[in-house]
Structure 1
Amino acid sequence: MEYVQERVTTLHDFHGADPPAPTERATVIVPMTERDHASLAAERVLTELERVDPRRVIVALRAAEDEVGAVVSWVDGFDLTAEVLWCSAPRVETHLRERGLDGESGKGRDVWLALGVAADSEYVVCHDADAKTYTAAHVNRLLFPLANGHEFSKGYYARVENGRLYGRLFRLFYAPLVRALASAHDAPVVQYFDAFRYGLAGEFAATGDLVERLRVQRGWGLEVGTLGDAFQHAGFEGSAQVDLGLHEHDHRSVGGPSGLGDMCREVGAALFQSLSDAGVSPDYGTLPDRYREHANRLVEQYATDAAFNGLEYDEAAEREQVDTYAAAVREPATDRRLPAWRETSLEAEAVRSLSAAAIADAT
């Protein structure tokens, strides 16, 4: 346990913190795919949200038509003011295409659609559905900074499970990459990225006003892209991070579709686009080697930490992952971010109505 403050306000869990928070003025967004539906983790999340009793819960769903009815019935079974926003509904897809907003779909796009619907709330909380250690206190902790003068808050936690260290994409890609950037760029945006203890956490909260200003990455770059825009609009003084304790959720392989090797490319692109927004231009010729240097140093440190705690640690496998991730350290391609809701002619209520009509047809 420690009480160290970072450049952003850092709120610690000393003794089971469960602070008062304006849940009745908050919408909670929970992105899901059909594979999450009725899982033990998702069941736990919605059950815990019953205890929170927020103003509204939006389940941002990406699923095939034959799965929608089961998901809606399942969500309706909870004692919540909840609605399913079918983000991949054909009607919604057509509406987006007609407004030039079609393109790659993914978690980020689902969250973006839900953020538009949720922006009429004073506060918005977003978190994943696969956390096995989720508790109602998470919502209160994320909201507390917003009720106390901040515009943006993000969760952080320890990823230790089954006698091993997890959080590999953060530990072995994001953290050493940011350190490599910080060694060459004394820029506030780099310091901002470095101030967050778990920059890839999917748990964040923001004011409704800030939510409308966020440009959102379509896929796995969501969390980093959100940080980049939070830096622009909230800055150090308007941002906070909160301790969510130990965190357990589903793990991904490094290779294969949607594996960590694919995810790191989107995370890297989001990070570099945020740097470009702030006027930072990395030397992409030397950055991969500098990334490897910092990553391999962290591998040594994690090996010592794991040994100190009696944890299993495969140092060779960790270095192999560093080699895989190094390929993602490159200049980003085309910016595929979705626009801020304030800057689009798309109407959130239209998306909501089209989703409801499509669900009615499917069920």
Structure 2
Amino acid sequence: MEYVQERVTTLHALRDRTPEAPTDRAAVVVPMTEREFGGLAVERVLGALETVDPARVVVPLRASPGRVGPVREWLREFDLSTEILWCDGPRLERLLADHGLDGQRGKGRDVWVGLGPALSEEYVVVHDADTLSYSPAYVARLLFPLAHGYAFSKGYYARVEDGRLYGRLFRLLFRPLVRALADAHDDPVIDYLASFRYALAGEFAATSDLVADLRVQRGWGLEIGTLGDAFEHGGFEGSAQVDLGRYEHDHRSVGGPTGLADMSDAVVDATLRILLDRGVGIDHDALADRYVAAARDLVRSYAMDASFNGFEFDRNAELEQVDTYADAIGPPAADDRLPPWRDSPITVADLREAAAADLREVATADYREVAEE
């Protein structure tokens, strides 16, 4: 049985146990899109949260106007103190634009919207809504280190399904990228990033003090950008990672507008932004070469691990992904991170007022449509 420690405190699920944790002092942020509405995964997540009974559940919702009403009514069926924030609402969008906070939209922007209201609680937990294997124990496990003096807690898990290794963006991009950075640069944040067993996991918890200092990446760089700020405000001593077991959720293709190739650009950008913030100069061409070499070595190891377990493994497909991800390595784009809520030009009250007005307007429109029918 494995229980090796990393440089960040690593908590292992050596038995099926839900530890005592301050769930009643925590807000759980669950970003959701209309695509997940009514699905088995989100049903499981929300049903499990009913048994957890956190202080509040904040749902930043990305949806078209016609879907907001049905989603809102469906969420009311769960015995939870739920706050819905329609991320596409016109008043909310205008509020952000008026204060220079408009721009690229994505998961990170949605989470940032949800983090503001969540700060009213002592602790904040963030996790995805598409987890088929979700357990009520996850929230307590993520919160446990925070109740014992840590400021930041990250989930990790095995991405194994149907006799195959998943977690491709982490395995084939992030891990070898960090290894390539470590080969040429001596900065403690690289060791910090390398300490997390699944750095791209969407599940984390933090004190509201730390969350208020997060500069949130707007898109798929959210998870890595969060680690960079967690290092600055919590460091090795204030950070932990928690075993959440095996995880099952949606898989993405490599190509396409929301595929892994597009996500790789954001992951690389967020990773190199962390180094740029710390004044580390990078030769990007040399980094790309070192990355490819490190990734190819890891593919060989993954192939052996898969064979050992009797899993399917397409070595050529994995190597093709490595070549695709190598194209993403270059200087970070312009910094468009959202500001920490501690320094935000809008208040949480402003955001809540705009979001509530948008929901009232949608409810009125829904009523009109029903009356007209």
Q: Same fold (TM over 0.5)?
A: yes
Deviations for 1:34-54, whole angstroms, at most 9, x for unmatched residues? Answer: 101111000000000000000
Alignment-derived partner of residue 98 in structure 2: 98
Task: Report the aligned-residue RMSD.
Answer: 0.7
Q: Distance in 2 between matches of 1:123 and 1:304?
A: 41
Q: TM-score, normalised by structure 2?
A: 0.96
Q: CA deviation at 1:285?
A: 2.0
Deviations 1:158-182 (A, max 9, x none): 0000110000000000000000001
Give the distance between the partners of 2:38 and 2:353, measured in 1 at CA. Answer: 25
Q: After TM superposition, list the pairs within 5 Å mapping 1:352-363 onto structure 2.
A: 352-363=352-363
Partner of 1:155: 155
Matched, 1:165 2:137: no
Aligned counterparts of 1:156 and 1:193: Cα–Cα separation in 2: 13
How many Å separate the matches in 2 of 1:74 and 1:152?
32
Aligned to 2:301: 301
Residue 253 of structure 1 is matched in structure 2 by: 253
The letter for the 1-side match of 2:251 is H
1:314: which partner in 2?
Answer: 314
CA distance in 1, matches of 2:350, 2:38: 28
**Inter-partner Cα distance in structure 1 for 2:148 and 2:182:** 30
Query: Which structure 2 residues correspond to residues 35-114 of structure 1 after superposition, within 5 A?
Result: 35-114=35-114
Match of 1:115 in 2: 115
Number of residue pairs matched? 363
Letter of the 1:17 partner, please give it: R
Counterpart residue type for residue 340 of structure 1: P
Say yes or no: does 1:138 pair with 2:134: no
Aligned residues with identical type, % of pairs: 62
Give 3-state SS (helix, strand or coil) of 1:35's partner: helix
Native 8 Å contact 1:113 1:348 kept in 2:
no
- Secondary structure of 1:183's partner? helix
Give every structure 1 segment of 4 or more consecutive aligned residues whose post-TM-superposition deviation is greater than 6 Å: none
**CA drift at 1:309:** 0.3
**CA–CA separation in structure 1 for the residues paired with 2:298 and 2:304:** 10
Displacement of 1:283 in angstroms is 1.4
Report the Cα distance in structure 1 between the residues aligned to 2:351 and 2:343, rounded to whole angstroms: 16
TM-score normalised over the length of structure 1: 0.99
- Partner of 1:125, secondary structure, is strand
Q: Which amino acid aligns with 2:330?
A: R
Indicate the SS of the match to 1:217: coil
Unaligned runs of 5+ in 1: none
Aligned to 2:284, the other structure's residue is in SS state coil
Counterpart-to-counterpart distance in 2, 1:90 and 1:212: 25
Letter of the aligned partner of 2:84 in structure 1?
A: V
Between stretches 276-285 and 183-192, larger displacement belongs to 276-285
3-state DSSP of counterpart to 2:31:
strand
Aligned to 2:288: 288
Residue of structure 2 equivalent to 1:229: 229
> Given residue 100 of structure 2, which amino acid in structure 1 is its aligned partner?
G
The 1-side partners of 2:54 and 2:333 are apart by 39
Aligned to 2:338: 338
Shift of 1:279: 2.2
Deviations 1:241-294 (A, max 9, x none): 000000010000000111000000011101111111122222112010100000
Q: Distance in 2 between matches of 1:115 and 1:45?
A: 19
1:353 counterpart letter in structure 2:
E
